[in-house]
Amino acid sequence: MYTSAAVLALLAIALAWPIPLWLSAARWPSRAPGTALALWQAIALGGGLAMIGALLSFGLAPLDGEAGGIHALIASLTSGPIPAEFAIVNIVAIGGAVLLGVHLLLNLISTAVRTERSRRRHRATVELLSSPLPEQPRTRVLDHPTPIAYCVPGVHTVTVLSGGLIELLEPAELDAVLAHERTHLRQFHHLVLLAFRAWHAALPWFPIANRAENAVGLLVEMLADDDAKKERDPHTLARAIALVGTSQPSASGELGEQPMPRLEPPADAARTPLGVRVSRLLRPEAPLPPFARLLALSAAALIVSIPASVLLGVALGIAPALAGSPAPV
């Protein structure tokens, strides 16, 4: 058990710092955003499971893998003294594992509840302050000069555009933006973002959580771009993205006069999300080779399965104890 705890602790450290740093600095995710997104999800889930598993394995290490000892430990928590082989650090580790697991789960639930309440309020406000866009179902237009477009997911989804956006874009560009936003809804990107938002909220002091949330946000935009360009011309979509990204309100609140962006990758393409998105639409990169995709997905599966298997083994030992039946040897 001490060996399992050490392995999981090393895995948790790797998933907390060097691996996310490497992935966030890598260039290949733009060639396979779906694969990179799966890897980020595995890092988040595997990191949490590894931290919990390391603490739990260390705490239960004095049992030396004996399931019957788990039965005795659980019984002693409600009646009788703690078994002599358990030191204070073992009890603290078990408590830490339980608290961390409960904290992460409750934070996910509370984030989901708060987000859904906020969406309902926002949807109701949009219904009051906007008007429907003709011939575009579930699309509303806000009378505001700033060019914006976003979607509000939920049971009754809605895509929101501003009057400034409609005035700024040509019809083909507007269609490309709508295709992009509806891809977000169709592929349930809001659920992916919700999980990473909850992770960041649960561990606000954890710098990698913020980095992961930003990286995942860019990846879902790339996925929406890739799906939208199947229906619309990629140059048209790139132009719409560049126009919206470079149009800023002036001091009077009206759109300032902005030079029309040229259809070429911006010089800061490697540094800004806008530049990255426009660049990959105008100059598509070669897709990631199938072997590289398989390697990344296999790594994602290992990252999750290693701590999950340890926790499953512990759960199989604890379940009979909680039921009051003899645990299997």
The 10s digit of each residue's pLDDT in 31-86 is 999 999 999 999 999 999 999 999 999 988 887 655 455 666 666 666 667 777 78
Q: What is the average per-residue pLDDT within 266-282?
A: 78
Calculate the average pLDDT of the chain: 86
Q: What is the average per-residue pLDDT within 99-123?
A: 95
The 10s digit of each residue's pLDDT in 295-308 is 999 999 999 999 99
Query: According to the per-residue pLDDT averaged within each range, which of 71-85, 94-108, 248-262 is highest?
Result: 94-108
Count how many residues are written for the chain. 329
Cα–Cα distance measured from residue 56 to residue 4, given in angstroms and rounded to the nearest whole number: 10
What is the helix (H) or strand (E) element at residue 30, kind and residue range? Answer: none
Torsion sign over Cα 210, 215, 220, 222: positive
**Higher-confidence position of 122 and 264:** 122
pLDDT beyond 80 at 249: no
| Predicted confidence band of residue 251 (pLDDT cuts 50, 70, 90) | very low
The 10s digit of each residue's pLDDT in 190-239 is 999 999 999 999 988 777 888 899 999 999 999 999 999 999 999 999 99
| Predicted confidence band of residue 324 (pLDDT cuts 50, 70, 90) | low
The 10s digit of each residue's pLDDT in 1-38 is 788 899 999 999 999 999 999 999 999 999 999 999 99
Q: What pLDDT does 305 receive?
A: 96
